């Protein structure tokens, strides 16, 4: 069970969009529609942003959206705001009641 | 509002056993539909899933980790626990207790605040 691959960093100007990729295999991302995304600010616990590829929990702005194609999932943050500067992690169900996380992406708002 | 809170020692010596508790308030760990689990994050690094326990006490662990971890639950206290034997410096991390939701229990919807565990001689 290897970690999902994310780019180490991504950036964008306020008001613009940034997209983060999350690449796995057919045993995790590609095999199930159970990809989730988490946002983590420094010193804080992660927060659920997206689950089941593209569903948002109550209270999460619709600026955050998720998608998946084959073995790669993506998170898009539209209308970037200063408070979106954080680390972002993807996660996927990997069968047999197991999970795997992504390597994490640091998003910088320029 | 559901709350999870970790408790346990912040500092251990190599070879000791780590015991962490997670106290759940605002909800019952006996309620069906959720698993309860542990995730850790070494300083400056990413998240690592450790394992989950369901409402009937069945456990599931990260197959990539050694079998030093044990997760258990005490429904009378509405708590669940993590034991890690023979700790090393590599086990230094923030440990989070979590609630796992979804029809296949596939995402974490509640996190504890996390507790830093340092292993050092």
The string of pLDDT tens digits covering residues B7-34 is 999 999 999 999 999 999 999 998 878 9
What pLDDT is stored for residue A1 in this prediction? 78
Distance from CA of B121 to the nearest CA of A (A): 25
**Mean pLDDT, to the nearest integer, of B88-108?**
94
User: Higher confidence at residue B55 or residue A51?
Assistant: A51
Q: Which of the four pLDDT bands, split at 50, 70 and 90, describes residue A10? A: very high
Distance from CA of A15 to the nearest CA of B (A): 28
Q: Is the pLDDT of residue B114 over 80?
A: yes
Contact of B77 with chain A, judged by CB distance below 8 Å, is answered with: no
What pLDDT is stored for residue A7 in this prediction? 98
Strands A105-109 and A9-12, by their bridges, are parallel
Closest Cα in chain A to B62: A98
The string of pLDDT tens digits covering residues B50-60 is 999 998 889 99
Q: Which of the four pLDDT bands, split at 50, 70 and 90, describes residue B89? A: very high
Q: Which long-range contacts (CB under 8 A, 24 or more apart) does B5-11 make?
A: B5/B97, B5/B112, B5/B113, B6/B95, B6/B96, B6/B97, B6/B112, B6/B113, B6/B114, B6/B115, B7/B115, B8/B95, B8/B115, B8/B117, B9/B117, B10/B115, B10/B116, B10/B117, B10/B118, B11/B117, B11/B118, B11/B119, B11/B120
Closest Cα in chain B to A34: B106
Distance from CA of A94 to the nearest CA of B (A): 9
Q: Residue B3: which of B30, B25, B34, B35 has the closest Cα? A: B25
Q: Residue A64: which of A48, A43, A50 has the closest Cα? A: A50
What pLDDT is stored for residue B102 in this prediction? 86
Contact of B1 with chain A, judged by CB distance below 8 Å, is answered with: no
Is residue B109 within 8 A of residue B40, CB to CB? The reply is no
Distance from CA of B103 to the nearest CA of A (A): 10
Q: Is the pLDDT of residue A15 over 90?
A: yes
Facing B60 at nearest CB: one of A1, A2, A97: A97
The string of pLDDT tens digits covering residues B58-79 is 999 999 887 899 999 999 999 9
Closest Cα in chain A to B38: A99
Q: Look at A57 and B49 and tell me if their CB atoms are within 8 Å.
A: no
Share of chain B above pLDDT 90, in %: 86
Which residues on A lie below 8 Å from B64 (Cβ)? 1-2
Q: Is the pLDDT of residue A103 over 80?
A: yes
Q: Which of the four pLDDT bands, split at 50, 70 and 90, describes residue B105? A: confident
What pLDDT is stored for residue B55 in this prediction? 85
Q: Is the pLDDT of residue A60 over 90?
A: yes
Integer Rg of chain B from CA: 14
Q: Which of the four pLDDT bands, split at 50, 70 and 90, describes residue B80? A: very high
What pLDDT is stored for residue A104 in this prediction? 98
Closest Cα in chain B to A94: B106
What torsion, rounded to 10 degrees, do the Cα atoms A67, B48, B35, A66 define? -10
List B54's β-bridge partners, or say none: none
């Amino acid at each position: 069970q290897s970690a999902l691959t994310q780019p180490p960093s991504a950036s964008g100007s306020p008001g613009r969009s940034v997209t983060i990729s999350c690449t796995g295999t057919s045993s995790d991302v590609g095999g199930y529609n159970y990809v989730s995304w988490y946002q983590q600010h420094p010193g804080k616990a992660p927060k659920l942003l997206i689950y089941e590829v593209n569903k948002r929990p109550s209270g999460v702005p619709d600026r955050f959206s998720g998608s998946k194609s084959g073995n790669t999932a993506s998170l898009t943050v539209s209308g970037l705001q200063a408070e979106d500067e954080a680390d972002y992690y993807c996660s996927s169900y990997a069968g047999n009641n197991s999970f795997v996380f992504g390597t994490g992406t640091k998003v910088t708002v320029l | 509002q559901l709350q999870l809170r970790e408790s346990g020692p912040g500092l251990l010596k190599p070879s000791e056993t780590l015991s962490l508790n997670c106290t759940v308030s605002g909800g019952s760990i006996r309620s069906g539909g959720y698993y309860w689990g542990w995730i850790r994050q070494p300083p400056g690094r990413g998240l690592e899933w450790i394992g989950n326990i369901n409402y009937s006490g069945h456990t599931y662990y990260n197959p990539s980790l050694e079998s030093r971890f044990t997760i258990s639950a005490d429904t009378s206290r509405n708590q669940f626990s993590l034991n890690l034997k023979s700790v090393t410096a590599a086990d230094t991390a923030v440990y989070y207790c979590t609630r796992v939701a979804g029809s296949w229990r596939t995402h974490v919807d509640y996190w504890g605040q996390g507790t830093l565990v340092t292993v050092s001689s």
